[in-house]
Amino acid sequence: MTGYFADIPPIAYEGPETQNEFAYRHYDPNEVVLGKRMEDHLRFAVAWWHSFAWPGGDPFGGPTFARPWFGDSMDHARAKADAAFELFGILGQPFFCFHDADVCPEAEDFATNLARLDEMTDYIGGHMERVGTKLLWGTANLFSHRRFMAGAATNPDPDVFAWSAATIKACMDATHRLGGQNYVLWGGREGYETLLNTDLGREADQAGRMLAMVVDYKHKIGFPGTILVEPKPQEPTKHQYDFDVATVYGFLRRYGLEDEVKLNIEQGHAILAGHSFEHELALAASLDVLGSIDINRNDYQSGWDTDQFPNNVPEMTLAYYEVLRAGGFTTGGTNFDAKLRRQSIDPEDLILAHVGGMDACARGLKAAAAMLEDGRLESARRERYSRWDSPEAQAMLQSDLDSISARVLAEDLRPEPVSGRQERLENLVNHYV
Ligand code: XUL
Ligand code: CO
């Protein structure tokens, strides 16, 4: 153990009135909400990369965090894992997520990478057993090393495609061995900087083939988890192919993968795409591809991916409302793909960022559950479409333009506008947040 968080006690639920910073005020894992424990609804995960691997740099300056586990040796990697599980023990969140490159130093040759990942998988497995934290998802970092500068699956160089495929296989094996509940693909460098050097059709086919191979391999090894694709519109490339939910769904349909793959939807990415988070969630739910969420929010002014901890309860409420309406998570969960601001350099900052985020989500979940239980929003929505329940309206959907036109004339149809009641519904939501 590193003892990095040595002075910080395990965080317990103390209720909304507590003045103790190091306590949950709203997240009570055992509180039953809509017939399910809150922990089993929210399924919180800590992201290894931002919390333990990110050094606090920005385009104008180097690292601001001085973590004792920073360094390129396997000893550093083990110290990082020790610190990670120390934090997991303090927070008591049920899950974590990782990339291969977060947990072990990257080598220039593939055999060394494989051996290191293998060693760290065992090491992490030991910690998981001791602390009881489970793996929500694993993934491959196919974007940091310079070999990926022109993409992974979509790279013009087939050797990079091969390296990427082999790395994904290794990461799926590690995820499977650790009992991971999902495997995520975020297309880090799958996109373009300029159309002048880019063959869109070819790159899409390469990406489609890679994803099909991932699905085949999942079945081959009997991985029981879900394969998830994470949409993002831009950054690091000018245009990312997995732009948003609608685009990824079209891609899945194009390659016949829509029944095999679901989506990991990130709030910040939704904002970058010009959508609201609840839009992306509702659309994914309507397409039956809602898998899991990355709950980190984005700054609304910056225009780049700021990966901040969530703290906006009304936003969380609308997000969990969509998750609950869709029936809740199955293998998915709530991953804090969030990083501290670079001035937040203390160990306490890392703990309390998660505590605050978990509380904001818990409040959102409770408000969303109350809105669902109240039922007025859902009945207003049903009511709005109720005229479609008539046999005549349904029959029209099987009809054709000629017959419909004849009926409009025969009945002298004059549609009467009906209020959408938006402000009344917004007032209703504000009862709960
Ligand atoms: C990048 C991002 C990734 C994925 C996993 O914006 O969200 O961290 O969540 O690769
Ligand atoms: Co993410």
CA dihedral for 365, 367, 372, 378, sign (positive or negative) = negative
Asked, for residue 385, whether it belongs to a domain, the answer is no
What's the structural domain count of the chain? 2
Same domain, 253 and 397: no
Task: Indicate the helix (H) or strand (E) that contains 185.
Answer: strand 182-186
Q: What is the DSSP letter of 222?
A: T
Same domain, 423 and 322: no
Supply the pLDDT for residue 383.
97
By the 10 Å C-beta count (0-12 exposed, 13-18 middle, 19+ buried), 76 is classed as middle
Q: 70 Cβ partners below 8 Å, 6+ apart?
A: 55, 63, 76
Among residues 325, 345, 374, which one ends one of the domains?
374
Supply the pLDDT for residue 68.
97
Same domain, 420 and 297: no
Asked, for residue 379, whether it belongs to a domain, the answer is no
Q: Whose CA is nearest to atom 4 of ligand 1?
A: 186
Same domain, 317 and 399: no
What's the domain range around 36? 12-374
Give 3-state DSSP helix, strand, coil % of the chain, rounded to 5: 50, 15, 40
Asked, for residue 299, whether it belongs to a domain, the answer is yes
Asked, for residue 71, whether it belongs to a domain, the answer is yes
Asked, for residue 346, whether it belongs to a domain, the answer is yes
| Strand bridging mode 32-33 / 36-37 | antiparallel
Q: Give residue 9's pLDDT band: very low, low, confident or very high (50, 70, 90).
A: very high
Asked whether 305 lines ligand 1 (CB < 6 A), one says: yes
Does residue 99 have an active-site annotation? yes
Residue-averaged pLDDT of the chain: 97
CATH number at residue 57: 3.20.20.150
d(CA 218, CA 236): 28
Percentage of the chain with pLDDT > 90? 98
pLDDT one-digit tens code per residue, 52-81? 999 999 999 999 999 999 999 999 999 999
pLDDT one-digit tens code per residue, 287-330? 999 999 999 999 999 989 999 999 999 999 999 999 999 999 99
pLDDT one-digit tens code per residue, 322-354? 999 999 999 999 999 999 999 999 999 999 999
Cβ atoms within 10 Å, residue 365: 27
Q: Are 182 and 264 in contact (CB under 8 A)?
A: yes
Q: Whose CA is nearest to atom 5 of ligand 1?
A: 186
Asked whether 243 lines ligand 1 (CB < 6 A), one says: no
pLDDT one-digit tens code per residue, 169-209? 999 999 999 999 999 999 999 999 999 999 999 999 999 99
Q: Which residue bears the tokens 């309390």?
A: 352
Asked whether 186 lines ligand 1 (CB < 6 A), one says: yes
Same domain, 264 and 405: no
Asked whether 294 lines ligand 1 (CB < 6 A), one says: yes
Q: Whose CA is nearest to atom 3 of ligand 1?
A: 186
Asked whether 127 lines ligand 1 (CB < 6 A), one says: no
pLDDT one-digit tens code per residue, 132-144? 999 999 999 999 9
The packing angle between helices 376-384 and 347-374, to 10°, is 60
Length of the chain: 433
Same domain, 396 and 278: no
Q: Which of 99, 176, 269, 354 is catalytic?
A: 99
Same domain, 216 and 329: yes
Same domain, 172 and 67: yes
Supply the pLDDT for residue 2.
63
d(CA 403, CA 208): 42
Percentage of the chain with pLDDT > 70? 100
Q: Which ligand is nearest to the CA of 265?
A: 2
What is the CA(178)–ligand 1 centre distance, in A? 20
Q: Which residue bears the tokens 């036109």?
A: 405
String of DSSP letters for 310-347: P--HHHHHHHHHHHHHTT--SS--EEE-----TT--SH
Same domain, 307 and 401: no
> Which tokens sit at 388?
């479609």
Asked, for residue 94, whether it belongs to a domain, the answer is yes
pLDDT one-digit tens code per residue, 246-278? 999 999 999 999 999 999 999 999 999 999 999
Same domain, 293 and 423: no
Q: 361 Cβ partners below 8 Å, 6+ apart?
A: 27, 42, 44, 295, 310, 316, 320, 334
Assess whether pLDDT exceeds 70 at residue 403.
yes
Asked, for residue 2, whether it belongs to a domain, the answer is no
Same domain, 369 and 395: no
Three-state DSSP class for residue 399: coil
Asked, for residue 274, whether it belongs to a domain, the answer is yes
What is the CA(326)–ligand 2 centre distance, in A? 21
Supply the pLDDT for residue 232.
98
What is the CA(328)–ligand 1 centre distance, in A? 22
Assess whether pLDDT exceeds 60 at residue 150.
yes
Q: How does 12-35 read in b/e, with b if 16+ C-beta sit within 10 Å?
A: ebeeeeeeeebbbbbbbbebebee
Does residue 102 have an active-site annotation? yes
Same domain, 177 and 33: yes
Assess whether pLDDT exceeds 70 at residue 1.
no
